[in-house]
Homo-oligomer: A and B are copies of this chain.
Amino acid sequence: MKKIPLITLERYPDYCNYLLTLGEECERISSGAIAKALGLGEVLVRKDLAYTDCVGKPRLGYNRVELIGALRSVLKCDVHKNAAVIGVGKIGHALLSYERFEKYGITLVCGLDENPDVLDENAAKPIYDAKKLNDVVKKYDIELAVICVPDFCAQTVCDEIVASGVKRILTFAPTNLKVPDGVIVRYMDLAANLAVLASC
């Protein structure tokens, strides 16, 4: 499969969500209709979808169910992956009970923190001592880490995650993280997003 540009990949959940809202009464859909609904250009939509296995037919468009399947396949929704949250403050805690990860095949299995007051190894979503990171990564086969710690310790926590073997990191701390080749960091800066919105 061709390497899909990140910017394209980022639109795949939107396509999926939209196609799912259409329901079974919609059997086929054109790139033009998708483009209009999502406020995108039709050429862009056609290019984006050309990276999937689903081929649209002239004048008939894409089979909706096939297209959803193709998008979900690229997003690896049917491959189960475990994730852990490092830093169980309010945001970390909210994420642990956030149910929307499951539709992408991702389970946030546990949290880790260095504050003894929040640890609870017997909870439905256990919270372990941050010192046990290596053991937790092995035990649950953690592939994704979510950093929810304060900025000042984000790089240290990131280094520990990388050392534990996890190669995909989502961080809520707005600190530019240094990682070795092969490790990918994605930034989720809530405040910056609101600021950008306010400046539009």
A residues near B (Cβ < 8 Å) are 6, 9-10, 12-14, 17-18, 21, 37-38, 74-77, 81, 83, 89-91, 93-95, 97-98, 100-101, 103-106, 143-144, 146, 168-170, 174-176, 184, 186-200
Nearest residue (CB) in B for A104 is B195
Nearest residue (CB) in B for A103 is B191
Contact status B98-A191, CB under 8 Å: yes
Question: How many copies of this chain does one complex carry?
Answer: 2
What residues of B have a CB within 8 angstroms of the CB of A106 in the complex? 191, 194-195, 198
22 A-B contacts (beta carbon < 8 Å):
A9-B200, A10-B196, A12-B196, A12-B199, A13-B196, A17-B175, A18-B176, A75-B198, A90-B94, A90-B97, A100-B174, A100-B189, A100-B191, A101-B194, A103-B191, A104-B192, A104-B195, A105-B198, A106-B194, A169-B197, A170-B193, A186-B194
